[in-house]
Structure 1
Amino acid sequence: MKPIIAKRSERTPSVRWALASLSLSMLMPSLDTSIANAGLPTLAQAFTASFQSVQWIVLAYLLAITTLIVSVGRLGDIMGRRRLLLVGICLFTVASLLCGVAPTLWLLIAARAAQGLGAAIMMALTVALVGEIVPKEKTGSAMGLLGTMSAIGTTLGPSLGGLLIAGFGWRTIFLVNVPLGILNFLLAYRYLPVDRRGPKSDRRGSFDHVGTLLLALTLAAYALAMTIGRGSFGPLNMALLLAAVFGVGLFVLAEAKAASPLIPLAMFRNPVLSASLVMSTLVSTVMMATLVVGPFYLSRGLGLETALVGLVLSVGPLVAALTGVPAGRIVDRFGAQRMTIIGLVGIAIGSSVLSMMPTRFGIPGYIAPIVIITANYALFQAANNTAIMMDISPDQRGVISGMLSLSRNLGLITGASAMGAVFAIASATIDITTARPDAVATGLRITFAVAAILIVVAIAIAIGAYRHTLRNR
């Protein structure tokens, strides 16, 4: 251990730059998860294509991340995380350039899939590398910073995309990644610690190809079931969902028999890890509701103009930017599991307040609960990520970081579909874009009442995991 600690202390002046690289590696993929949504109408006109066709610009990226993020995390554990992260940054940057110059829709979709693979590598390995560049007692602060970057990227994407398209054209929403990617690569190459080599025979023989293929197909089926059909859940969606369930069974059987499984099933006996992954999925589902429901409530329920809607929606990214790092420091001081519970309680309170807020309170009545939800989400993210990553063995950091990112991504996918459906049903209207203000307000209240219930479930899980930890000390 002494050489590692000495090396880390020698690199102390460079840790800040290493964290800057990891921050960019988290910001860029998160931003591109949502930035293309703003350009779909423009892209449909530019390529003279239907909405169903241009929707694949978003789906190709989302599917690539969802299906591959755990596998590339495991690959990083085998071949070296720094080395693979550099490959991911290069792939993401080159693919962004190809997206920006694509002459046809299908070339753009192919480039977006390649960009998604690069994004999966970056998202999976960024959290895993934290343990190699910061001391354990500072893990919470680093996780808070990365949580801030993730939240800012996801929530800022649509508004930034709209501004770039209005000012410079649709190609700039992809080309903006090129200078950022070059800067990120240079920082990562210069400041991230060099990978330690293991025996080549062990490294080559430890990748689970069958498990990787089964997991990718299962996750692809689930993601498609939740996203195609523009909110309607028809026979194709049901067939895909059943295929995903069947795929889970096959994957579990394959992993039980594999000599070196992609995801060792024994790790789920760790109650802290299992609880953290479930909580991450539930919380991400709720946070997606703010992105799905918020714009409709502000425009239809409160009657705000488009510019004012965008201004109000920017409160979330601003709060995330201001609270992420302080939240991480609080986690370092008071403990990860305790702060996980407090963050969840705060999200539940914010969701409950929003579910009871009368429309006569106007913009302040919407912003106040959103501030509570977002600030406590930052605390939860920092605490939950720290709780997972602090005590795992170094050779599993990549795959577990990938699983953590996957749980968040599955929550966002599920939230967009399920919470969107709850909102539409609660609003009692076929077309939400023409719904009456009172119907939209009712939809918002019921949606966030459901969100509060989901967070209460997460709180119960967090308390159970915390009690288990106390008993085993």
Structure 2
Amino acid sequence: MRTWGPLTAVSLGTFMLLLDVTIVIVALPDMARALDASLSDLQWVIDGYALALAALLLGVGAAADVLGRRRLSVIGTVLFALASLGCGLATDADLLVAARAVQGLGGAAMLATTLPLLGAAYQGRERSTALGVWGAVSGASAALGPVVGGLLTEGPGWRWIFFVNLPVSMASIWLTLRAVPESKGPAGRRVDWAGTAAFASFAGAGTYGVLRGGAEGWTSAATGGAFAVSALALVCFVLVERRVAQPLLDLRLLRKPAFTGVLLGGVGYNAAAFGVIPYLSIWLQTVLGMSAMTGSLVLLPLGAMSFVVALVAGRVLHGVAPRLLIGVGLLLIGGGVLGMAVLDAGSSWAALVPGLALTGVGSGLVAPGLAGAALAAVPAGNAGMAGGALNTFRQLGYALGVALFGTVLTAGMRDTLGREAAHTVAGGGAEALRGTLSEHTVRAAFAAGLNAASLAAGVTGLVAGVLVLVMVRAPGRRSARVASGGAPGQDSPAAAGAVSARGE
């Protein structure tokens, strides 16, 4: 590498924005106590960020091609830093959720521009090296997120999981302006703002409907209205994308079973592997009485195994079809999450470790293979669009997983606790009910809810694995080259954007 400046700047921003996907998990109980937050509030603390990433990634990426990728990356980092300050200073749950959504907007600008910037800064072998380092940094952020969150929450307090972004953002901005060259997409490109708005409305209203269904019932007016808005927005998105000259997503790509299978695999992967993790953290801390730091270490096997397996698989399984890596990996994830559905009133943290480790093994196989399979399924000219769509669907899967499995969790507790108490316990308020309910009742109810949520997540992983194995065809020469990391560096700078980012 002749110069490490652009890679350092891009990797620093990527590490920060992906760390914020998972860093809040172990801080949820402390947030609930400090802000008097409900279960729905905690879900939106996670989903507000993930949804903004998912809903705006494609649109912001197109805007970066027009306005300049470095410029929009810097603007996104400034916005991310200001929103992080707002998160740390939030005095109630509504302000925190709003700031998290703005954080997601800034994160979308950063994520959409990272790899295109690398593609413009490096060529040939250097580009392959840069993409490899970037991938390792992405994996490390997922593994370290809960641990860093535990250290900060147990040390200076949960607000510092956001304040720590300020000096990192300043360093990233300085490095980007100093070392990263400006680049743009092809001249004459336009931004599909109508499609962006329609997709954001579809994703946001759909997730809101799932959350309202769990809180108020699936037949309530709020739930039905949210799903109606989501359906209408989806219709509008399809109509817009069919008419505009430069759509966010060329709907003709969805006619390709292989590409659709990869997108479904991405949704299923993030939902199954990570959608239950926030509730495991709440159980560890508020029911088992573990500290934030200790609870984060219990979750470490998932991220650590994923990181190690991804590194090993990249060398040992170099010639294996991405279809098999993704499909088998999803089946392992499904089996691992099902392996966590074994809790009872007397269970300890140790009951989770085998399932978390197996889920990590599956994640280590899936994450590297998704990008290669997405690229292989579409023409070379659509590589950037395919990568952006994959990242979008992965973040959407995480947001929907957190919402849906939270609903399943509370439903599993209602027979024992009733609706109101179930939401209180799931939202980290078990201590408030210990005066009226026995310890055995609280533990048994939460264990039953977690078992139900893990069962739903495990089935999601298994179904996604089967769909990938059936729909994604065996790769040819081009896809094997893509999976190895060579093609993004050889095809075009836009193709670099197809390398998937972790959404845990």
Q: Normalising TM by the smaller chain, what interval?
A: 0.7 to 0.9
Aligned match of 2:202: 218
| Letter of the 1:373 counterpart | T
| Letter of the 1:90 counterpart | V
Aligned match of 2:497: none
Instruction: State how far apart, in whole Å, the 2-side matches of 1:360 and 1:37 are.
Output: 24
Root-mean-square deviation (CA), in Å? 4.0
Give the TM-score normalised by structure 2.
Answer: 0.75
> Does the CA-based 8 Å contact 2:345-2:447 persist in structure 1?
yes
* Residues matched between the structures, number: 453
Q: Any unmatched runs of 5+ in structure 1?
A: 1-11
Structure 1 residues 122-131 or 55-64, which shifts more?
55-64
Tell me if 1:418 matches 2:404: yes
> Does the CA-based 8 Å contact 1:300-1:440 persist in structure 2?
no
Aligned match of 1:6: none
SS class of match (1:314): helix
Per the alignment, do residues 408 and 331 of structure 1 end up closer, same or farther by CA in structure 2, a change over 3 Å counting?
farther
> Does the CA-based 8 Å contact 2:301-2:360 persist in structure 1?
no
Instruction: State how far apart, in whole Å, the 1-side matches of 2:466 and 2:40 are.
Output: 40
> Does the CA-based 8 Å contact 2:50-2:396 persist in structure 1?
no
Which of residues 235, 240, 247 is equivalent to 1:249?
A: 235
| Letter of the 2:469 counterpart | I
Tell me if 1:295 matches 2:268: no
> Does the CA-based 8 Å contact 1:424-1:443 persist in structure 2?
yes
Aligned match of 2:370: 384
| Aligned pairs (5 A) from 1:62-461 | 62-97=50-85, 99-100=87-88, 111-128=99-116, 133=122, 141=132, 144-145=135-136, 147-152=138-143, 155-156=145-146, 160-161=148-149, 163-169=151-157, 171-192=159-180, 194-195=182-183, 198-199=186-187, 202-203=188-189, 206-227=190-211, 231-233=215-217, 234-295=220-281, 298=284, 303=288, 305-306=290-291, 308-330=294-316, 332-355=318-341, 362-389=348-375, 396-427=382-413, 428-429=415-416, 430=418, 431-432=421-422, 433=425, 435-461=441-467
Q: Structure 1 vs Structure 2: percent identity of aligned residues?
A: 27
Instruction: State how far apart, in whole Å, the 1-side matches of 2:212 and 2:36 are.
Output: 20
1:54: how far off? 8.8
Instruction: State how far apart, in whole Å, the 2-side matches of 1:176 and 1:456 are.
Output: 38
Q: Deviation per CA, 1:328-383: give whole Å up to 9, x if none.
A: 44564534333222322321332343345788885443202211101221220111
> Does the CA-based 8 Å contact 2:117-2:183 persist in structure 1?
no
Q: Any unmatched runs of 5+ in structure 2?
A: 431-440, 480-504
Per the alignment, do residues 50 and 292 of structure 1 end up closer, same or farther by CA in structure 2, a change over 3 Å counting?
closer
1:467: how far off? 3.2
1:176: how far off? 0.7
1:169: how far off? 4.7
> Does the CA-based 8 Å contact 1:141-1:325 persist in structure 2?
no
Aligned match of 1:9: none
Aligned match of 1:5: none
Give the TM-score normalised by structure 1.
Answer: 0.79
Instruction: State how far apart, in whole Å, the 2-side matches of 1:58 and 1:357 are.
Output: 25
Q: Deviation per CA, 1:191-225: give whole Å up to 9, x if none.
A: 556425633xx13xx22232222222222212322
Instruction: State how far apart, in whole Å, the 1-side matches of 2:410 and 2:45 are.
Output: 25
Structure 1 residues 29-38 or 453-462, which shifts more?
29-38
| Letter of the 1:404 counterpart | L
| Letter of the 1:217 counterpart | S
Instruction: State how far apart, in whole Å, the 1-side matches of 2:55 and 2:184 are.
Output: 28
